[in-house]
Amino acid sequence: MVRALSIALLAAAVALVAPAAAGAGATMKTGVADDGLMQRTDGRAEPTAAIWQASGVEQSRVAVVWELVAPDPSSVRKPKGFDARNPDSPDYNWTSVDTAVTALRARGIKVELSVTTPAPIWASSVPSRHEPTYKPQPDEFADFVHAVAVRYGSRIASYALINEPNLWQWLTPQWSCSGATESSCVAASPEIYRELFRAGYSAIKEVQPSTPVWGGSLAPLGGPTRNDAHSSIGPLLFLRRLGCVTDDFLRDRSGPGCRNFRPVTFDALAHHPHSAWRAPNSSNDVADSVTIGTIPRLTSTIDRIQSRGGVLNGSAVGAASKTKRLDVEIDEYGVQTNPPDEWSGVSLRNQDNYLQEAAYMMWKNSRVKLFSQYLWQDEPLDKVSVTAGSWQSGLYFADRTPKPSAASFRNPFWVDLPRHSRRATVWGQVRPGGQTAVTVQSRTAGFARYAAIRTVMTNRSGFFVLTVPVRAKTAFRFYYGTDAVKTSSVRTVTPR
């Protein structure tokens, strides 16, 4: 009798399972960024690209660091006779970038080039300071970007200009202070970045008019202070000052560079919404910050700036550049683990869960077109690397031992059951993409075995989504494959 009743209940539940509405992120690309493997470790670029291809990576960001490619970066004088616009100049060193681009393209992985500071000292507006991030000259940056665009041409799917310009490690000064108090400080880096980006954007469009150029690439947080050399700016404040609007989104004509303001043009907005040890769905409540759980802060802010004429959308034509909303490209997101990072890492289990939940959250957001893992493999953790800001957010430890997240990367899975609801969204992806038959199973508390509730086909990007009734604590998973069956993580939800 009990067995017959349980079968009847299962049949009723299956009858109520329904495909959810197609997510607006149904074609969101999967990316990875790891220059340690692709550029800084001999012999790793080609095998890594092969692994990424098999794991469903569609796009990868490659950094082109100005001071590492240009000649005599420590000199206050530009090398005599050096033609910075000519990529074939023998003074340039493209070796590591060439290796990464070639390896990725050989595996069908699209390449995003992040052309960034630090700059050669001779390209600074004040070389005597010997600071490679201090006010790089826009015309020198334009020459360098031109050389990059000519060298790599149509092999590049997209560009981003200046990595995390709201951090002092990449661009200085962040603030300009007329006195000793913080109240005397005004944001300086947005104006510097505005002119650098405008110069670089034009240089790329002269060579590759149809290649997208992303703006932003912003870090998620600013610093707590304004009047020291290591101060940074929160991303939302940075964007407001970039677009010359006040905190109330009124036109600002008194800020740096705002008197004769011309809007900057982005083809999309890149962002790095790291949430440190916090769960993806939590907020850190820090003013002007944007972590993975608060992406709507980013989109609402850039939309309001665009509506005031502070930013234009270069992917649109004519008047639509003022109204078409910018896509968001998450080209860097990582969760550091303990082990090995005892200071800023979460448990291996939490990293695994956070990455899968974050992928689901970004899929739900119609504005997000790319979600990239940072890193694939941990950077070394020692006194030198910690001082340099190394990351331990890989799916693999530095010795290549896999973490749990390495297995789930190919089949991220999440079940979303809102509070006071009895209907759950069951979401997953099979990487690489392509239509795959997946069978979703569930096991209600008190029952020993999983039972299939539906077999569905993923879409061309590998995604599937269902809505399922949930009346008691229930565990879900899915499996796919014939010769070698693969099973996702288990997700357990309880109605509240």
Mean pLDDT of the chain: 93
Backbone angles phi, psi at 370, to 5 degrees: -145, 135
Neighbour tally for 104: CB within 10 Å: 27
pLDDT confidence of 466, banded at 50, 70, 90?
very high
Based on the fold, state whether residues 437 and 316 are members of the same structural domain.
Answer: no
List pLDDT tens digits, range 149-186: 999 999 999 999 999 999 999 999 999 998 888 888 99
Among 383, 412, 441, give the residue marking a domain's end: 412
Split into its structural domains, the chain has a count of 2
10 shares its domain with 80: no
Is a pLDDT exceeding 50 seen at residue 330?
A: yes
Are 200 and 332 within one domain?
A: yes
18 pLDDT higher than 70:
no
Does 155 lie in the same domain as 255? yes
Label residue 8 by pLDDT band (50, 70, 90).
very low
Q: What is the pTM of this model?
A: 0.93
Residues 152, 282, single domain; the answer is yes
pLDDT of residue 388: 54
Residue 381 banded pLDDT, cuts 50, 70, 90: confident
The per-residue pLDDT for 26 is 82
Q: Please indicate, yes or no, whether residues 207 and 246 belong to a single structural domain of this protein.
A: yes
22: pLDDT strictly greater than 60: no
**Core vs surface per residue 124-146: b (16+ CB within 10 A) or e:** beebeeebbbbbbbbebbbbbbb
Give the residue-averaged pLDDT of 125-134: 98
What distance in Å separates the CA atoms of residue 383 and residue 395, rounded to the nearest whole number?
22
HEC string of 68-94 equals HHCCCCCCCCCCCCCCCCCCCCCCCCC
Q: Give the three-class secondary structure for 67.
A: helix
**pLDDT (tens digit, 9 = 90+) per residue, 401-460?**
999 999 999 999 999 999 999 999 999 999 999 999 999 999 998 888 999 999 999 999
| The pLDDT value given to residue 4 | 37
**One domain, residues 357 and 427:** no
The pLDDT of residue 483: 82
As beta bridge partners, residue 466 has 19, 426
Q: 489 with 395, same domain? A: no
Q: What percent of the chain has pLDDT over 90?
A: 84
Cis-peptide into 220, omega within 30 deg: no
**Is residue 297 domain-shared with residue 348, that is, in the same domain?**
yes
Domain endpoint, select from 412, 445, 464: 412
For residue 436, the enclosing domain spans 2-20+415-493
For the residues 106-129, what does the mean pLDDT come to?
98
Q: What is the mean pLDDT of residues 281-308?
A: 94
In the listed set 390, 412, 434, which residue is the last one of a domain according to the structure?
412
**Domain shared by 84 and 113, yes or no:** yes
* CATH number for the domain harbouring residue 443: 2.60.40
- The CATH code of the domain that includes 168 is 3.20.20.80
Do 401 and 426 sit in the same domain of this protein? no
pLDDT in tens, 144-154: 999 999 999 99
Distance CA 350, CA 348 (A): 5
Residues 215 and 76 in one domain: yes
Q: What is the pLDDT of residue 12?
A: 39
